[in-house]
Amino acid sequence: MNALMTNTYPVTAADYTSAGRASADIKRKLKQLGVSGDVLRRVAVASYEVELNLVIHSLGGELSLSVYPDRVQLVSSDVGPGIPDLSLAMREGWSTANDEARSLGFGAGMGLPNMKRNADDFDIQSEVGKGTVITMGFRLA
């Protein structure tokens, strides 16, 4: 099924000033579409986490929001560096965030587990030197 709407947001690596803008716009759009309650909360959390992940860990990339009649999909794709050990990265509390990110209160190692917990379906593909693609789906009630 084709998406009824797709919006793509470029996300710049280490740009902490703009961090959170894409997810704020995603939330606003979903509210205008009438998405509410639990689904909105879960998309809000996951989109913020994934956007911050792009800022903190990637070399840059983009976040896209697609809306289907029965579901919302978030796709984050970046241009590297890629994750060497996915099972380690998915572990709660494990983080490779640098000192700058940690000084801003990030790096608790909850990003990916939090996304997985909040999405109805979660998929992550990563290749070192190429990049990471995270796809998350949320069913609309």
Alpha carbon 30 to chain centroid, angstroms: 16
Q: Which is nearer to another protein, 2 or 87 (CB)?
A: 2
Does 103 bind another protein (CB under 8 A)? Our answer is no
Residue 72, phi then psi, degrees to nearest 5: -115, 135
Q: Which is nearer to another protein, 71 or 86 (CB)?
A: 71
Query: CB under 8 A: which stretch of 8-16, 20-28, 74-82, 91-99 binds another protein?
Result: 20-28
# residues contacting another protein (CB under 8 A)? 25
Does 4 bind another protein (CB under 8 A)? Our answer is yes
β-bridge pairing 5-11 and 61-67: antiparallel
CB atoms within 10 A of CB 136: 24
Instruction: Give the CB-side neighbour count of residue 88, counting CA atoms within 13 A.
Output: 5
Given a contact cutoff of 8 angstroms between Cβ atoms, the answer to whether 84 and 58 are in contact is no
Does 44 bind another protein (CB under 8 A)? Our answer is yes
- Interacting residues toward another protein by CB under 8 A: 4-5, 7, 20, 23-24, 27-29, 31-34, 36-38, 40-41, 44-45, 48, 67, 69, 114, 140
